[in-house]
Chain A
Amino acid sequence: MIHLKGGYLVDPVNRLDGPGDLWIEGGRIVAPPPGGLATENVDCTGCVVMAGAIDIHSHIGGGNVNTARLLLPEEHPAALRRPSETALSRIGFDVETTGRLYAEMGFTTVIEPAMMPSNGLHAHLELADIPIIDKGALVVLGNEDFLLGLLRARESRSVVRDYVSYMVESTGALGVKVINAGASAAFKANARSFALDDEVPGYGVSSRRIVLALQQAVDELGIPHPLHIHCNNLGVPGNSDTALATMEAASGRPAHLAHIQFYGYGREGRRGFSSAAARVAEEVNRRKDVTVDIGQIMFGQTVTISCDTLRQFTARNFSRPRKWVINETDFNGGGIVPYRYSSSDFYNVVQWAVGLELFLLIDDPWRVFFTTDHPNGAPFTDYPEIFALLMDRRARNDAIAKLPKRAIAMTGLASIGREYTLAEIAIMTRAAPARLLGLADRGHLGRGARADIAVYRRRDDKAEMFRRTVATIKGGAVVVRDGKVIAAPEGKALVVKPGAGTAISRRMERYYEETFGLSPQFFHVDPAALGRAEPFVEVPCRS
């Protein structure tokens, strides 16, 4: 039994915001034992104790991340004569460092948001090698010939539902993501831009129809996480229109809009690029069935990784260093474009401010999620600095003061006084993600909860506070002590099993055989292939 003693508990789910102790046994939080004896004590005096953090959108594994590694060997510490800091060394560009760095910051569950079905087994093998943290993956649908063919033929919604269910189960997914719906298919037919009401050539199916069909299927299957939507027109000036139109289209059912910062742009000003964050935030505030994550950018070298092949093909001209990869498949494919966000670049500064504005102007911390779209906006190791920018107005103003005034003037950031409280941080990074993903036993400190816990030394400098935990507890075991990993157990993959019909399975066998000379078994993720005892944990669907 472990005793976390003398800490300050912050758990909005159980209305805890004050001093208290926690007791852990059998991997769970338990009632205080009568005798009060523990085998292991963690002194939490002067510390804030929260549930382990949950990252809902971070590209940590799967083919595209690995392509980025292989594209950029010079950004790895290995390329230096003596290992020290390089731009990407902060990311921990091998799986073991990924798990360790997350655990040291008190994160215990991370969702890989873009698992291409064809890469499902690769993604799971790679994710399984990330130690400590639990993982989940969203399967990317919405650009493949089979689904577009169903929609073209106006097949019934039950057929689409069966298909989605089949793909989720076959690939071991926790949910479904759609990425620039139809655009990767349209790009194969030489489209260079793609909007919500554009039709995929050869199918007569609009992006809107694809999004709505998938959203409906996910909802009707009872998959806890609503459809995770990467909208059209990512990064394009004036694309707040697209975000608003997508929210309008999706209204009536839950929808999650990913990395909304990349859609927070207007066309004002001499350069035709401005913040439309206030307009987007107002719409999010108004629509209670919408959740968003931010995709904050931070300045520095990174690499953008996306299944939005059309967008990444356009972005190739901005690659720094000058090299890029576009991989196309029957599904979305992937684009890898190295990029450097510069604090002297007008556009990058506006992007930075838009992300912070959205964080601060969206009122409900239950519906806005903390992400950098790692590594697209910034590596996840920049999270502590972002916590500081959100929680400390002075730190934010200091940062603003260092940036070009002309860019900041195209945003409303300087006039916002809000500071996130610890309780709001706990909601945004713990309680809300657990609820969004259907993980009832995570994100809080109540009795019976999974003992995934982060203990932070209370400090005025919030970046210092959140950089390293005093202790991280994963599944009831102390894995980090004084900011250093002391144990690296294996994590699990979280999956849902909505129940796939056999009719669709036969139909897909036929389609794959006729079209590709293959069995759809090629993307089936057999847990036995992962070489581990019980690699999956099932998350129940809504009944």
Chain B
Amino acid sequence: MAEAYVNGQAVPRDQAIAAAARLLASATLPVIAGLAADAAGIRSGLQLARAIGAVVDHAHGAVLSREAEVLARMGSMATTAQEVRRIGDVLLLAGLGDAAEAARLLDYLSQGAPKRIVSLGPAPEANAAVALPAEGEHAIAGALALLRAACAERLGKPPADYRAAADLLRGAKFGAAIYAPALLGAPAIEMVLGLASDLNAGHRFSTVALPAPANGEAAMQICGWLFGVPLRSRWIDGHARHDPWRFDARRLVEAREADAALWIGPIEEPPAWLRRVPAVVLAGRGFAPDKMPEVAISVGRPGVDHPGVLYQLATRALSLVPASRPTALPTSADNVAAIQAALPAKGSGA
């Protein structure tokens, strides 16, 4: 990818910035999506959204929203992977699946204190003490409910494997349920959190969630402090409005409610549905779709081309990640700021 394209033609960056600003400023309902960037890139996107009244959503907004809704409904009890590695003695793998991130997390956890494992889900962990097979979102939610009831002794005579699992969980000194919100429905997530909370009546138990990819947790946090509400929100008349259905970027595009989009995506390229709307795409150098969006601008990848603040799996916190192969490519934040500076004056509706 060259530096920048407008309507598929390579142009100088300034020209693409100006075209991007025109496209976004003339829209009735712009969306700023992706936000698959470092903290600075996310922040710049949210600030631009405040200025032009754009909807904000993340590349993994569906998962993030599910987690946010569960949080707002019931709260949560959670800990960090690093602490489970150090002191965790019992793990409940709750519908974890066998994705690479899950394997990486389990490998990380296994290097600390020895652990006994209850594995609930479609692909039981090989060295699990107890395996509770369940496949599919609903079966997993049901199995979790059964396990929770067994732990709370609400079942007269639980199935033997559930009794064994409950005994193991209830005997934990510091246990943790490990789950991937992307693989569970909201009822199952609530069941994991409720189970962990219940177990604390006797011993200590908590949870660790696999974070959403593409710096999604960082996007949620930054939206929290700049907008005061979770992602899938819009700044209107000096107030943030939050509605996880109404401000779902994909729905807005597919329903043709949105008439322009900015995808900030050095970490993750735009999905196919973005092609349905006139779009500005900020992407890493490898971006080469079949059909170029209206405006495409190449940006540095955080942690590769330039240092960037990224959410960390082990610590559940933001850290500065140095550049692994530094280049002079401008950052997402630089480009978004340039677009905001190039907006016509009337665009500042905040």
Give chain A residues whose Cβ lies under 8 Å from the Cβ of B15: none
Q: Is the CB of A329 within 8 A of B83?
A: yes
Q: Considering the complex, which residues of chain B in the window 310-325 have a beta carbon less than 8 Å from any beta carbon of chain A?
A: 312, 314-320
Among the stretches B20-28, B147-155, B200-208, B248-256, the one at the interface with A is B200-208
Q: Is the CB of B229 within 8 A of A73?
A: yes
**In the docked arrangement, what's the CA distance between A126 and B222, Å?**
8
Which of B75, B173, B240, B317 counts the most chain A CB atoms within 10 A?
A: B75
Q: How many residues of B are counted as interface, with CB atoms below 8 angstroms from the partner's CB atoms?
A: 56
Give chain A residues whose Cβ lies under 8 Å from the Cβ of B224: 66, 69-70
Partner of A119, one of B82, B173, B206, B317: B317
**In the docked arrangement, what's the CA distance between A122 and B79, Å?**
17
Given A516-B82, A517-B85: A73 and B73 interface contact (C-beta under 8 Å): no
**In the docked arrangement, what's the CA distance between A190 and B73, Å?**
27
Provide the main secondary structure of the chain A interface: helix
Q: Is the CB of B86 within 8 A of A329?
A: no
Partner of A330, one of B72, B86, B318: B86
Q: How many Å from the CB of A485 to the closest CB on chain B?
A: 13
Q: Is the CB of B220 within 8 A of A70?
A: yes
Give chain A residues whose Cβ lies under 8 Å from the Cβ of B82: 329-330, 516, 518
**In the docked arrangement, what's the CA distance between A325 and B112, Å?**
26
**In the docked arrangement, what's the CA distance between A516 and B87, Å?**
11
Q: Is the CB of A324 within 8 A of B226?
A: no
Give chain A residues whose Cβ lies under 8 Å from the Cβ of B173: 189-190
Given A95-B226, A323-B74, A325-B75: A66 and B317 interface contact (C-beta under 8 Å): no
Chain A interface category by residue count: 35 or more
Give chain A residues whose Cβ lies under 8 Å from the Cβ of B309: 121, 125, 529
Chain B 44-79, CB-CB to A under 8 Å as 1, else 0, gives 000000000000000000000000100111111111
Give chain A residues whose Cβ lies under 8 Å from the Cβ of B72: 70-74, 323
**In the docked arrangement, what's the CA distance between A475 and B75, Å?**
41
Give chain A residues whose Cβ lies under 8 Å from the Cβ of B97: none
Tell me, yes or no, whether A347 is within 8 Å of chain B by CB. no
Tell me, yes or no, whether B333 is within 8 Å of chain A by CB. yes
Chain A 176-195, CB-CB to B under 8 Å as 1, else 0, gives 00000000000111100000
Q: Is the CB of A522 within 8 A of B317?
A: yes
Closest-by-CB residue of A relative to B79 is A328
Instruction: Give 10 nearest A-B pairs by CB, closest first.
Output: A94-B228, A323-B75, A328-B79, A66-B224, A529-B320, A93-B228, A516-B82, A324-B75, A83-B239, A522-B319
Q: Which residue numbers of A lie inside 8 Å of B, CB to CB?
A: 61, 63, 65-66, 69-74, 76-79, 83, 93-97, 118-119, 121-122, 125-126, 129, 145, 187-190, 313, 319, 323-330, 333, 336, 515-518, 521-524, 526, 528-529, 531
Q: Which residue numbers of B lie inside 8 Å of A, CB to CB?
A: 39-40, 43, 68, 71-80, 82-83, 85-87, 108, 111-112, 173-174, 200, 203-204, 206, 220-222, 224-230, 233, 237-242, 307, 309, 312, 314-320, 333
Q: Could you pull out 20 A-B pairs where Cβ atoms are within 8 angstroms?
A: A66-B221, A69-B224, A69-B229, A70-B72, A70-B224, A76-B229, A93-B228, A95-B226, A118-B317, A121-B317, A125-B43, A125-B309, A187-B204, A189-B174, A325-B75, A325-B76, A329-B80, A516-B86, A523-B315, A523-B317
